[in-house]
Structure 1
Amino acid sequence: MNLLHPKKDKLVEAEEKRRDLGFGTQINDPDTRLLNRDGSFNVKREGGGFWSELNIFNRLVVCSWGRFFELIASFYLVLNLIFAGIYEIVGIENLQGADMTSVRSRLMDAFFFSSQTLTTVGYGRIAPIGFWASTVAAVESLLGLLIFALATSLLYGRFSRPVAHILYSDKAIISPYLDVTGFMFRIVNERANQLIDLQVEVAMSILEKQPNGKLLRRYYGLDLERSKVNFFPTNWTIVHPITQTSPMFGLGKEDLVKLDAEFLILIKATEDTFNQTVHSRTSYHSREIVAGAKFSPMFSDKEGAGVVTLDLTKISDIQEVSLSSEYVPTVKEVEIGKQSDFFIG
């Protein structure tokens, strides 16, 4: 199926066929998603080096806080168990002050002496005597200094790394827009920090059948009603008008599903706390599109409150509407839209 508008000349047509977002054109499995909803790439690398695959620093910086503390606690526990075993091999009797009345008490004292040595606390009840016990304690204390320096830098790196916490609506919709229809989704800043100079790019990926019967992945950039806003204090409904020049023109949801259409979104903004550029990305598969709907308002009705109240739980609320193209905005709606163009979407 040729989705290109017939009025486009051959040069424009050839350029659109060459367009690529970095995924290539050979990913032609209809069940394969390019970009997961959480923004991660749906790509698994194999055959790389062990340390390249492990990539400890990156994994510890980008993983969730729960996962981070779980890994730190597990490492701390395992390391102390290893050194407790070493003290057992060297001889716990070489730890002066250790309770030798039972195996359990011996191992407990060895474990807690290890934790005190690793953190350089050293309460003084237990002390190493002899060459080997003192050597193991000295090595462990040095290792502890290095490990906790790394853990502290990781913790600082996680706190100081600016991240765009943008919430996306669960579904994208095809809704009446002016006198046509539009592909839409909604976003909102989840955090209290401020994002400025937001820019959004949306591309549609489809599987096109070639004359030889082979499926080839194509990418089409979608023109937006507004691709940039200066401020982002509330929500922003991002709209692609489905006009005759749109690659979505004439396609219903069933057609998009058959073409394995996926809509890839990239958002760039400046985070004003650190004055650094942050990114957010996600995608909507054609199965995650609702045709014939509109988003419900997110503003809470609190008259006289003197402040704009935005209910983030309503970001995915939609209402069923007709997809007829008879909708024309009133003069009042047009004036409101013009006034808000500079501030929000």
Structure 2
Amino acid sequence: MKKKDSLVEKERNRQDLGFGTKMTDRQTRLITGAGQFNVKRVGQSFEAWLNLYNRLITVRWSGFFVLVLCVYLVLNLIFASLYYLIGMEHLAGVDMTNTHSQFWDAFFFSAQSLTTVGYGRIAPVGFAASFVAGIEALSGLMMFAIITGLLYGRFSRPNPRILFSRNAIIAPYLDTNAFMFRMVNEKSNQIINMSVSLVFSKVEEKNGVRSRQYYGLTLERSKVNFFPTNWTIVHAITEDSPLYGETAESLAESDAEFMIATEGIDDTFADAVHKRHSYFNDELVWGAKFKPMLENDGEERYILDLRKIHDFDLVSLNP
């Protein structure tokens, strides 16, 4: 019983980020460079797959406006077709002598009804046309209420622009070496109480079974109160580090990945913001040192050049 209890306790204490131990495919990262989980779901219900609100909130602005324009045009085409089928004689003010412009008169009357503008040149006559116009006016009110809510949601949603260096590096550090990467807030707003956690993951083989293991890496500094400039994250590779004795070849063989989670408070929205990133083993440069990004312009002001976030020099590592 004691042996079973120890095995259970060991499993309880095993570190796991939520990916499990079965993700051991070669050259397949767990978190993409864009910070998304590299997991594709299948067998979902249509409602879960659609996830409409999330899609409309997170889609790019260009895609959002194109979608709104398409919905607007399609609705007007549908209602214009209904007016045309009912009969153009039921729309007072339409030029009945010009057959080519009748549909477009119905289309623009639909646009006026949908937006409740109502210029007055064309008006519905009879129950059928009036009923369709009433339904369209209600649809327009609901559509624009939804669009207004989505616009508010998109503007009020914190969207952190945290840049990470293209590569992580192994650099000389004090009397040893260290794993480092660099990040910076691209926006001019401020992020406070910024914290970072770093997890090293690799595939290990025990008793002929390959499983993925996770190791939290101790950082030189895991939290800063202010984040006004770039921040170089440092994990010293000491004898008690999971990276101690690792080489570029051993990391490639074990499909090593370094996963990063950041969290802070955006002072514009007074809301928590977070960002994920990862470095795969082939994005790690051995023997490098980041170039400075911060300099003084000679006018009692500091200049932070974001274009230099990826720049480094090759150097010799400590023995």
TM-score (norm 1): 0.86
Contact 2:221–2:233, Cα closer than 8 Å, also in 1: yes
Partner residue in 1 for 2:109: 113
Asked whether 1:186 is paired with 2:182, we answer: yes
Trace 1:72-151 onto structure 2 (pairs within 5 A).
72-101=68-97, 104-151=100-147
Partner residue in 1 for 2:3: none
| Alpha-carbon distance between aligned partners in 2 of 1:101 and 1:206, rounded to the nearest angstrom | 77
| Alpha-carbon distance between aligned partners in 2 of 1:302 and 1:34, rounded to the nearest angstrom | 42
Partner residue in 2 for 1:43: 39
SS in structure 2 opposite 1:115?
Answer: helix
| Alpha-carbon distance between aligned partners in 2 of 1:192 and 1:81, rounded to the nearest angstrom | 44
**Superposition RMSD on alpha carbons, in Å?**
2.0
Shift of 1:301: 4.7
Trace 1:7-18 onto structure 2 (pairs within 5 A).
14=10, 18=14
Cα distance 1:139–1:291, how it changes in 2: closer, same or farther (>3 A)?
A: same
Structure 2 unaligned spans of 5+: 1-5
Partner residue in 2 for 1:315: 309
Trace 1:99-248 onto structure 2 (pairs within 5 A).
99-101=95-97, 104-212=100-208, 214-248=209-243
| Alpha-carbon distance between aligned partners in 1 of 2:88 and 2:284, rounded to the nearest angstrom | 66
Amino acid at match of 1:215: R
Structure 1 unaligned spans of 5+: 1-9, 326-345
Shift of 1:102: 5.2
Contact 1:16–1:220, Cα closer than 8 Å, also in 2: no
Cα distance 1:102–1:247, how it changes in 2: closer, same or farther (>3 A)?
A: farther
Shift of 1:236: 0.2
Which digits, 9 at most, give the CA deviation of each residue in 1:70-112, with x for residues without a partner?
2222222222222222222222332222344555422222222
Partner residue in 2 for 1:31: 27
Amino acid at match of 1:114: S
**Relative to structure 2, which stretch is displaced further, 285-294 or 81-90?**
81-90
Contact 1:295–1:319, Cα closer than 8 Å, also in 2: yes
Shift of 1:191: 1.0
TM-score (norm 2): 0.92
Cα distance 1:312–1:30, how it changes in 2: closer, same or farther (>3 A)?
A: same
How many residue pairs match? The answer is 313
Question: Whose strand fraction is larger, Structure 1's or Structure 2's?
Answer: 2
% of aligned pairs identical? Answer: 55
SS in structure 2 opposite 1:309?
Answer: strand
Asked whether 1:290 is paired with 2:285, we answer: yes
Amino acid at match of 1:166: I
Contact 1:17–1:218, Cα closer than 8 Å, also in 2: no
| Alpha-carbon distance between aligned partners in 1 of 2:10 and 2:99, rounded to the nearest angstrom | 77
SS in structure 1 opposite 2:294?
Answer: coil
**Relative to structure 2, which stretch is displaced further, 77-86 or 238-247?**
77-86
Amino acid at match of 1:241: A
| Alpha-carbon distance between aligned partners in 2 of 1:206 and 1:102, rounded to the nearest angstrom | 74
